[in-house]
A = this chain, B = another copy of it.
């Protein structure tokens, strides 16, 4: 539930790359209303897109993604801060595995996603477990 003075905006999208744009646009609009700066918003757009791209790439067995394969975006606008939750009901993973395979993102063509989310937001958390979906929670506070 939203606290006092907080506003919740929910966006549910097909888990497909063409709708990353919609996730970014929604983040921009709510970010503006939450009082984030243009630079804050650019950062947060990347962080949100990274979380959504992970859902698209990793959450579901590859089988088209037309039906119930969805990305849930929950934006909570507070005074000078925006909390974004990106959630899926996909296969999940063990966040501990990330620490083990701490290969630098430069080595492969991937692995940068969580690194960017962490660096581009003020608070970052992943909740996931094999078989139980994934939720990424990020907070961006207005600079200035």
Chain A positions near chain B (C-beta within 8 angstroms): 4, 7-14, 16, 18-19, 21-22, 24-26, 28-30, 32-33, 66
In the bound assembly, the distance between CA atoms of A33 and B4 in angstroms comes to 36
B29 touches A22 (CB 8 A): yes
Q: List 5 A-B contacts (CB under 8 A).
A: A8-B12, A9-B19, A11-B12, A22-B29, A24-B29
CA distance A11 to B24 in the complex (A): 13
Partner of A22, one of B16, B26, B66: B26
Chain B residue at minimum C-beta to C-beta distance from A72: B10
| Assembly CA distance A128 to B16 (angstroms) | 34
Q: Please give me the residue from chain B that is nearest to A75 by CB atom.
A: B22
